[in-house]
């Protein structure tokens, strides 16, 4: 067997590595999107309706769908995507959404190939071509489009780059084919084909090809929007995003020319400069070196940035920016090629200059010195082409690699990157898929949002609660109820069961209703979604903190454990595990609330009751059997929150309901509102992501104290600054311990006194610990906490020594609490120390 020369291996290595990168990308994003699908995170919009449209097309009913707005039964009414026709031929090999996801990942991955070929065509080294191909695969905008279910427009970047390559390679037949495929990905893609035709005319001087391409591209887009969509949907349904420009199409076009103020205001609102920054970053801004190519993306840039629709202004979200990416990448390749040409020209100029200086210096054969010396002189005067080219290549590599890695770290979808989401396929999902697989292929189905794609391979499908002629309804009562409120979902099911529908299948929270059955009751298997005690660990992809407790309310129900975590989209979810102590005739409800450190409500479960409350009421619970009660996901805009829980009876809510008091607890935790509201813990967001528990006592006091007030609280120490400037606030931290449960709610005062005993600064209020403010009546015996406050100092305070004192009082009467230290002089004030004002 003939052994390959190392140089041959080196020459082919970039191409081999490119092939490996393509395979790795296709494999990874196939796995990632399939994982999302099987974890029931794909949605009706758009995987559900696109899979239905492809399925119907593959079965001869072209572009038919029923899975979106009422009255529209063709995908063409939403987007004109003729590329669905050849996709449907492939789809027949494996008619399922999984094929669409794998096909999309493969086509996107292949986009690196025409980019590599273009780089080679423009004279760039294969290693630079490999770098550009990898930069495309790591581009966060493309990864976002690939991750977001399936859309024909996500295929367009690969096809556009192939189109441009064949244009430059002057392979007209292939150019025409790929230009047509590009335009078929979405109605406005013809505008980008028009721009490519303009480039062929002006940049390549190919007049007839350019004119024909421009006419075909523009004509197709106009026909798609003003012809097809006008006929099917009465016009483009997305025109409303540009309503600020005017009512009619003519008004909008006129405003584009006559109202630059509107356009500038919209570009500012869309953060256009930031948008362009993140689009250009993955090529290290080298695309700016080829503006004649970059400008080809202008139609898509305008469509996105001028839309009054914020998702279109985010380059690393959804699919809207995907058509811009190929032109950024192509401009980057052309810009780097231009830089390489400039390097070669510079080398020639420097070489000519070196020869001129050589002649001027009289370096000829008659000059003194040996031949070797004379050759050395010539070499020193002539710059090395390889060193100059190498320097340029390294500069390009640093720019491109640094840019794409920064973009990937911030917005990418690789593990550890900014938008990577951990997905887990649980036993709950597997059971759901088995239940969905049992639905007959000819059933007319109305399915909930996240179940919708899994039953979309059929002629008739609706997004629940839309019913029309559906004979089957599919729901997951344990998950999000969108687009309904959870209460409305329960009411809608009750209405269906009161009518023609019965329970055909119910297990683990999944519910299949059918007009072909008369059964109206939910079987015990339905409630297993909330019954399994191990669901606390498996119900969330991330649990930041969990703690076992044993807190009993009214001798009827006990809280066994709670956990704080995030769902896969980063929203806060609190999971609690309960068990009843005896059969309950009246249903109990749960109050789970997030408070700020001042004990104001940020969000609570009153409006969005946990699904367990709606579907598995406590009157059905078996005593001693743990039940999971989980809040619905919620986004908190704060960095800290306090978690409190309570239990009440009645339909009137927490405020007016019959609250159950805590009758026993382990460990001891603060109890508020007459022992009905338990403060479980406080949490702080770490690194802007996960929630971590806070401690009640933060550090140790700088000065030890031992002053016990009559109410039952003891001041153990203080930390305060020894010196300050006038107007500078003093951070004072008091360290408290409850020797017994205080009899009432008391306030704390801190005074700064001058030499005459007059107050020059003070603060008053409810004491607290390191977690939040905390009424003194809520402190359990033995509870310790550090309470930090800012004491404001007057700006005109005179320099000198001042005394810091503290005390407690009953806020209703302003009567101070005496200090009851044995052997100490009677008093109601504790001297904390001195502060020097400089």
Give the tens place of pLDDT for each residue, 384-443: 556 777 788 888 999 999 999 999 999 999 998 988 887 889 899 999 999 999 999 999
Rounded CA-CA distance 353/540 in Å is 69
Residue range 635-660: mean pLDDT, rounded: 92
Given this model, what pLDDT does residue 377 score? Answer: 45
DSSP type of residue 533: T
Domains detected in the chain:
6-30+103-335 (no CATH), 429-529 (no CATH), 532-693 (2.70.50), 703-837 (2.70.50.60)
Instruction: Answer whether residue 522 shows pLDDT above 70.
Output: yes
Given this model, what pLDDT does residue 110 score? Answer: 98
Instruction: Answer whether residue 182 shows pLDDT above 80.
Output: yes
Instruction: Answer whether residue 30 shows pLDDT above 70.
Output: yes
Rounded CA-CA distance 316/142 in Å is 8
- Listed in order, strand segments (DSSP E) in 468-615 are 472-476, 502-507, 510-514, 542-553, 557-566, 572-580, 588-595, 601-604
Query: Helices H, strands E: what count in the chain?
Result: 25, 27
Instruction: Answer whether residue 70 shows pLDDT above 90.
Output: no
What's the predicted TM-score (pTM) here? 0.86
827: pLDDT confidence band, cut at 50, 70 and 90? confident
Mean pLDDT value across the chain: 91
Residue range 521-532: mean pLDDT, rounded: 92
Rounded CA-CA distance 153/146 in Å is 10
Given this model, what pLDDT does residue 535 score? Answer: 61
Rounded CA-CA distance 694/375 in Å is 75
Rounded CA-CA distance 756/710 in Å is 28
Given this model, what pLDDT does residue 345 score? Answer: 81
Q: CA distances (Å), 377 to each of 126, 354, 381, 807, in order?
A: 34, 10, 6, 90
Residue range 769-773: mean pLDDT, rounded: 93
538: pLDDT confidence band, cut at 50, 70 and 90? low
């Amino acid at each position: 067997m003939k052994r390959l020369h190392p140089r041959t291996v080196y020459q082919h290595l970039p191409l081999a590595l490119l092939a490996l990168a393509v395979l790795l990308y296709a494999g990874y994003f196939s796995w990632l999107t399939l994982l999302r699908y099987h974890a029931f995170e794909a949605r009706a919009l758009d995987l559900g309706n696109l899979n239905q449209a492809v399925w119907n097309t593959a079965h001869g009913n072209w572009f038919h769908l029923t899975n979106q707005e009422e009255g529209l039964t063709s995908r063409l009414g939403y987007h004109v995507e003729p590329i669905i026709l050849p996709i449907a031929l492939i789809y027949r090999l494996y008619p399922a959404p999984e094929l669409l996801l794998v096909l999309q990942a493969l086509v996107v991955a292949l986009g690196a190939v025409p980019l590599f070929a273009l780089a080679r065509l423009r004279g760039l080294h294969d290693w630079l071509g490999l770098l550009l191909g990898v930069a495309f695969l790591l581009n966060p905008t493309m990864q976002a489009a690939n991750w977001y279910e399936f859309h024909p427009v996500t295929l367009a970047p690969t096809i556009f780059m192939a189109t441009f390559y064949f244009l430059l390679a002057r392979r007209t037949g292939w150019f025409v084919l790929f230009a047509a495929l590009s335009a078929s990905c979405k109605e406005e893609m013809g505008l980008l084909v028009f721009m490519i035709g303009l480039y062929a005319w002006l940049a390549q001087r190919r007049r007839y090809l350019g004119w024909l391409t421009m006419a075909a591209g523009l004509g197709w887009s106009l026909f798609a929007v003003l012809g097809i969509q006008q006929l099917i949907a009465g016009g483009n349904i997305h025109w409303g995003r540009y309503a600020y420009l005017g009512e009619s199409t003519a008004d909008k076009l006129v405003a584009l020319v006559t109202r630059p103020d509107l356009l500038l205001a919209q570009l500012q609102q869309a953060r256009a400069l930031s948008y362009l920054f993140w689009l250009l970053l993955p090529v290290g801004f080298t695309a700016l070196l080829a503006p004649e190519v970059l400008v080809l993306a202008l139609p898509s840039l305008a469509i996105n940035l001028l839309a009054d629709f914020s998702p279109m202004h985010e380059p690393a979200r959804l699919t809207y920016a995907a058509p811009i990416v190929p032109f950024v990448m192509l401009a980057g390749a052309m810009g780097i090629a231009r830089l390489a040409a400039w390097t070669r020209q510079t080398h020639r100029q420097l070489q000519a200059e070196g020869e001129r200086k050589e002649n001027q210096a009289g370096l000829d054969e008659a000059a003194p010195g040996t031949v070797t010396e004379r050759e050395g002189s010539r070499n020193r005067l002539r710059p090395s082409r390889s060193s100059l080219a190498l320097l340029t290549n390294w500069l390009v590599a640093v720019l491109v690699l640094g840019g794409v890695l920064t973009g990937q770290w911030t917005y990418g979808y690789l593990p550890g990157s900014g938008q990577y989401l951990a997905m887990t396929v649980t036993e709950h999902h597997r059971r759901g898929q088995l239940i969905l697989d049992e639905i007959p292929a000819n059933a007319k189905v109305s399915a909930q949002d996240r179940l919708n794609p899994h039953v979309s391979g059929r002629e008739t499908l609706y997004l629940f609660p839309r019913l029309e002629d559906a004979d089957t309804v599919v729901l997951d009562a344990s998950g999000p109820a969108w687009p309904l409120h959870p209460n409305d979902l329960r009411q809608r099911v009750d209405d269906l069961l009161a009518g023609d529908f019965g329970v055909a299948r119910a297990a683990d929270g999944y519910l299949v209703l059918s007009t072909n059955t008369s059964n109206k009751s939910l079987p015990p298997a339905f409630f297993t979604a909330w019954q399994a005690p191990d669901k606390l660990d498996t119900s969330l992809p991330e649990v930041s903190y969990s703690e076992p407790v044993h807190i009993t309310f009214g001798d009827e129900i006990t809280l066994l454990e709670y956990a704080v975590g995030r769902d896969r989209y980063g929203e806060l979810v609190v999971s609690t595990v309960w068990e009843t102590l005896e059969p309950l005739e009246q249903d109990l409800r749960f109050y789970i609330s997030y408070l700020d450190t001042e004990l104001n409500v940020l969000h609570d479960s009153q409006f969005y009751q946990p699904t367990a409350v709606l579907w598995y009421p406590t009157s059905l619970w078996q005593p001693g059997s743990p039940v999971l009660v989980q809040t619905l996901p919620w986004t908190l805009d704060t960095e800290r929150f306090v978690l409190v829980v309570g239990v009440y009876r009645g339909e009137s809510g927490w405020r007016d309901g019959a609250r159950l008091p805590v009758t026993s607890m382990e460990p001891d935790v603060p109890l508020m509102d007459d022992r009905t509201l338990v403060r479980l813990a406080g949490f702080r967001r770490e690194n802007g992501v996960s929630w971590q528990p806070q401690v009640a006592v933060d550090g140790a006091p700088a000065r030890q104290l031992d002053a016990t007030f009559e109410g039952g609280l003891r001041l153990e120490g203080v930390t305060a600054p020894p010196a300050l400037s006038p107007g500078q606030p003093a951070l004072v931290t008091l360290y408290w311990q409850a020797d017994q449960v205080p009899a009432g709610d008391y306030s704390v005062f801190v005074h700064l006194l001058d030499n005459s005993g007059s107050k020059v600064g003070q603060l008053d209020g409810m004491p607290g610990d390191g977690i939040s403010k905390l009424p003194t009546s809520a402190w359990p015996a033995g509870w310790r906490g550090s309470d930090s406050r800012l004491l404001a100092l007057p700006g005109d305070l005179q320099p000198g020594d001042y005394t810091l004192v503290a005390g407690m009082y009953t806020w209703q009467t302003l009567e101070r609490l005496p200090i009851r230290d044995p052997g100490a002089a009677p008093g109601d004030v504790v001297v904390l120390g001195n502060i020097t004002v400089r």
